[in-house]
Structure 1
Amino acid sequence: MYLVKKVTENDYEDFLDFPSRIHIKKELMQKRSDEIALLKGTHTLSNYFTFTAFLCYCDSKVVARCAVTIYTDKDEAYLGFFDSEDNIEAVKTIMEAAENFARENGIRKLTGPVDASFWIGYRMKSNKFDEKRFFSEPYGKDYYPKLWKENGYKISQVYVSNIYKKLSKNEEDDENYIKRYNFFTKRGYSIVSPSKKDWDKVIGEVYTLLVKLYSDFPVFSHITEKEFREMYKDLKTVLDFSMVKLGYKNNKLAGFFISVPDYGNRLCGNIGLPEILFMLKNRRRCDNYILLYIGVDEKHLGLGSALSQAMFEELRRKRSSSIGALIKKGKVSEKYIDNKILYQREYLLFEKHL
């Protein structure tokens, strides 16, 4: 007998603890602090939506969880924070409850997995489950896509992560990318890495360009610069600034390419001395980097290739591998330095009309 209930304060621990039962420690990317803030309605972005969490029990034991996020100006809601045993009946029961709740609130379509917001997390991993998770990668079990499909959810978007090979000291450059780099630098563009002391200024510039470029992305929602700074306040601590490339024309930011050392999931839970030492060691020199955010103003098309050349020169100097993370399939950035790509990992976004 399955019982679904909306999560109240008395159920917080059941909701928060369940992922650690489903995922082994090295797989778990859960950020409990975000989940607690969302449950309490105190998250930086909570003023934009209502967040309602659900738990499915069988014989007093949690077997599935999820949450529905409703924005006041949309008839599309988000289904996220999904975790479950490999149990189709449990998933059917909790999804029906979530869908009925959404209908009662005027929602016509559910999209997911979206963990409340574009800025918190979305997408579902769909292959390469035997490989180590990288920093910021969506986590999930290999049976999750099947459970969503069997409950009537259709794939709406596909994303990939490019797994690049480790570059040797004598790795040859791609002539096309060298030409792009030289083309832009000869025309007055400067491609630089910021210093830590300049980051507070730089992140404001990145915000302005990023929200303009990403506004047509699926599930994107606008946030203020103050909220953006709060969401990314820890980025300054984890960045290797040599792995941030900025393109300027006439002292105005025209493009950015931001990479971070691959910390895996070591920074997702409680941060103690071992995690701090691990971060400090890998921030200075890491074997693998996550190519996380890239954007180029439409007035400066082609600059992305020049930024990529600068980034891969750094990777070669460090003799490191890299992962071009979470790219919408078909985007130009999927093909950057494609002669160095070994293979791809894949992620899905689903939708269901109610």
Structure 2
Amino acid sequence: MTEATPVQQRKPLTTAQGVTIQPVHTGKQLAQFIDFPHDLYKDDPYYVPELHIAQRDLLTPGKHPFHKHSTLQLFLAWRDNKIVGRIAAILNKNHNEFNKANDGFFGFFDSINDEGVAASLFQAAEQWLKEKGTRTMIGPVNFSTNETCGLLVDGFDSPPVAMMTYNKPYYLDLIDRQGLQKKVDLYAYKITEDAFNDKALKMMNLLKQRLSQRGVTIRNINMKDFKAEAERIREVYNAAWDKNMGFVPMTREEFDYTAKDLKLIADPDFIQLAELNGKLIGISICVPDINQILIKIKRGRLFPTGLIKLLTGRKKINSLRVMVLGVLEEYRKMGIEACFYGSIMEKGLAKGMKWAEASWVLEGNEMMNRAVEHINGKVYKTYRIYEKAI
């Protein structure tokens, strides 16, 4: 299920805290790894279970393209014959190549509120990463900033939206006590329906007219030519985000894998492309908040009733996540981003959406933070990525 290791490394390790750390190597252990959060959060009204089949494929070599260039090791923590925590140690070789770094990552961290359990898990992850020659441990990141990442540190009073993380407040103490320091915060903005008014509509239309005079047009994605559109989007995505902290370009296979999943829930009215004389220069990707359905699917199982909930619940979704919004560097400050946001709100209101989340935005990305604040977006959740020299 994870990278092959010598026999001695496969043996469980009992720590001084009375915790047994077990490397995950079998299908049964992988299922236990995926299911542990369901038990930990069973009484939490804001917890959204991940779909079991999606998590299984994500973590299985041969299923997800990440495993073609990189590797990881999953660990389970046991005490008194009961699973009490989990963690993944991740070596993302593409990240290190692109960023000329020597970083390791941790992800998929969950634990009971016990410092001994957390310490045992992080010791196991650190040791594995040290053996791989890395000098820094960064996380939580699952597997890169292109997937889910960040620890929720503020905004525990509502469920996460699609493809965002959630955790209990006590995780902050557990991680702080392991010597990890803040690397960067990520903001999630809430934009409500009252943020869009006649003034905003007039401004958007004026900007579109000015852009049109300069040869820039904005259109919806062509779902009939999805494969070709996705490849063009990938090229802009990898170019527009290449200077962001910790960014790693997505391989064609990784992007296709993600695009295939997004296509299942996508509404073409919320995937917009900005073109200059036919050249793609900006993208905006919003997805319906599928978590409003997933929160009702017990333990992330589609059968026997989960699939029915998934198929019938989409019409009741009343919010969006603005997941990707960016423009190639040389075409920024033209007003394209503002037109994207304005169009999202206009179409969202027409389709009965009550609010949207724009996430995530790096705390140091002044241009994007100003753009969201300009349309009355308010930071309502904050996520954090940590780091530690090892």
The alignment's TM-score, normalised by the length of structure 2, stands at: 0.83
- Quick one: distance in 2 between partners of 1:13 and 1:311? 38
From 131, 141, 149, the equivalent of 1:122 is: 149
User: Structure 1 residues 124 and 200 mapped into 2: Cα distance closer, same or farther (>3 Å)?
Assistant: same
User: Structure 1 residues 337 and 353 mapped into 2: Cα distance closer, same or farther (>3 Å)?
Assistant: closer
Partner of 1:56: 77
From 19, 41, 55, the equivalent of 1:23 is: 41
Structure 1 residue 3 corresponds to structure 2 residue 24: no
Measured after TM superposition, the shift of residue 313 of structure 1 is 2.4
- Quick one: distance in 1 between partners of 2:208 and 2:59? 47
The code of the aligned residue for 1:67 comes to A
- Are 2:46 and 2:158, in contact at CA under 8 Å, matched by a contact in 1? no
- Quick one: distance in 2 between partners of 1:223 and 1:244? 19
- Are 1:77 and 1:110, in contact at CA under 8 Å, matched by a contact in 2? yes
The code of the aligned residue for 1:348 comes to R
- Quick one: distance in 2 between partners of 1:8 and 1:180? 55
- Are 1:125 and 1:138, in contact at CA under 8 Å, matched by a contact in 2? yes
- Are 2:51 and 2:301, in contact at CA under 8 Å, matched by a contact in 1? no
Partner of 2:211: 184
From 290, 296, 310, the equivalent of 2:343 is: 310
Measured after TM superposition, the shift of residue 54 of structure 1 is 0.9
- What does residue range 1-354 of structure 1 map to in structure 2 within 5 Å? 1-9=18-26, 10-24=28-42, 27-37=47-57, 39-42=59-62, 43-72=64-93, 74=96, 75-167=102-194, 171-173=198-200, 177-264=204-291, 266-267=293-294, 269-271=300-302, 272-279=307-314, 281-282=315-316, 286-302=317-333, 303-320=336-353, 321-331=355-365, 332-338=367-373, 339-354=375-390
- Quick one: distance in 1 between partners of 2:262 and 2:58? 21
- Are 1:19 and 1:28, in contact at CA under 8 Å, matched by a contact in 2? no
Measured after TM superposition, the shift of residue 63 of structure 1 is 1.0
Is 142-151 or 164-173 further displaced after alignment?
A: 164-173
The code of the aligned residue for 2:75 comes to F
The alignment's TM-score, normalised by the length of structure 1, stands at: 0.91
Three-state SS of the structure 1 residue aligned to 2:142 is coil
Q: How many residues get paired?
A: 350
User: Structure 1 residues 188 and 80 mapped into 2: Cα distance closer, same or farther (>3 Å)?
Assistant: same
- Are 1:158 and 1:329, in contact at CA under 8 Å, matched by a contact in 2? yes
- Quick one: distance in 2 between partners of 1:298 and 1:38? 32
Is 335-344 or 224-233 further displaced after alignment?
A: 335-344
- CA displacement 1:60-106 (0-9 Å, x = unmatched): 11111101011347421110010000111110111112212221221
- Quick one: distance in 1 between partners of 2:169 and 2:231? 38
Q: Percent identity over the alignment?
A: 21
- Quick one: distance in 2 between partners of 1:136 and 1:39? 16
